[in-house]
């Protein structure tokens, strides 16, 4: 009986650890059926930039961004210039900036070849100062960036519901990004990927159960 109580106590503690207070996906336009194999828009700093609109269903505090870029093989993203702007009905690239900054050496969490050509897809993430955004309001996330070898950098085109705007081409399809923060997810992902905490929780439960079976008389 004590062993069973210990198992359930361990499971409860693991659940708390696997549920961070401020690491949720507030807006998800990163993963979908058409992502990583259609096109990417040039966002090389000093040449081009792109902005992507989004609307939150509930107010949220944003503290991180995750993006998908097309990069040349053996090249890495070195810096990302970002800004959040509130929609003013004009060119979003010239809108009123409510927060901006530069992420130097953003964290690369994945890189893999796309299915179209010799480019790679790089998933990059970075933190921003906590930014409170209102519900049912159109905002724009604007991006330009650089790579380690000074090659061109392209923001992956996605199949999500947001709309994009490019500095040279006008209106474009939406881009691949996630906003990280502390409110429930608005997901447009047709095939969600379990978070690392989920794998850790399930693995811990299975290990604990196996240990009890081995020790049972």
Statement to judge: residues 38 and 121 lie in one domain? yes
Q: How far apart are CA 16 and CA 10, in angstroms?
A: 10
- Output the CA torsion sign for 13, 17, 18, 23: positive
State how far the Cα of 202 lies from the Cα of 81, in Å rounded to an integer: 38
61 and 116 share one domain? yes
Q: Are residues 108 and 10 in the same domain?
A: no
pLDDT 10s digits, 149-192:
888 899 999 888 888 999 988 888 899 999 999 865 554 444 44
Taking the whole predicted model, whether its pTM rises above 0.85 is answered as no
Q: Are 140 and 165 in contact (CB under 8 A)?
A: yes
Q: Give the domain CATH number at 112.
A: 2.60.120
**What total of structural domains would you count in the chain?**
2
- Is 8 found in the same domain as 30? no
Please check whether residues 78 and 149 belong to one and the same domain. Answer: yes
The parent domain of residue 217 ranges over 1-18+195-217
Q: Based on the domain organization, do 145 and 71 belong to the same domain?
A: yes
Same-domain status, 36 and 10: no
Per-residue confidence in pLDDT tens, the chain, 217 aa = 433 333 333 333 333 333 333 469 999 998 766 678 778 899 999 999 999 999 999 999 999 999 999 999 889 999 999 999 999 888 888 889 999 999 999 999 999 887 667 889 999 999 999 999 999 999 999 999 999 988 889 999 988 888 899 998 888 889 999 999 986 555 444 444 444 444 444 344 434 444 433 433 4
């Amino acid at each position: 009986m004590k062993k069973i109580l210990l198992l359930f106590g361990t499971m409860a503690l693991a659940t708390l650890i696997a549920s961070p207070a401020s690491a949720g996906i507030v807006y998800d336009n990163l993963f979908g059926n058409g992502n990583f194999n259609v096109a990417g828009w040039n966002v090389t700093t000093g040449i081009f930039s792109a902005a992507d609109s989004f609307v939150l269903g509930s107010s949220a505090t944003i503290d991180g961004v995750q993006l998908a870029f097309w990069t040349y093989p053996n090249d890495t993203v070195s810096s990302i210039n970002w800004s959040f702007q509130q929609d003013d009905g004009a060119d979003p690239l010239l809108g009123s900036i409510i927060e901006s900054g530069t992420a130097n050496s953003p964290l690369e969490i994945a890189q893999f070849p796309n299915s179209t050509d010799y480019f790679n897809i790089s998933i990059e993430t970075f933190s921003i100062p906590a930014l409170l955004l209102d519900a049912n309001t159109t905002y724009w996330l604007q991006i330009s960036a650089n790579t380690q070898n000074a090659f061109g950098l392209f923001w992956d085109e996605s199949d999500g519901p947001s709309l994009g705007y490019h500095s040279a081409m006008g209106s474009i399809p939406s881009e691949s990004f996630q906003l990280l923060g502390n409110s429930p997810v608005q997901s447009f992902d047709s095939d969600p990927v379990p978070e690392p905490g989920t794998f850790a929780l399930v693995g811990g439960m299975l290990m604990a159960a196996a240990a009890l079976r081995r020790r049972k008389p």
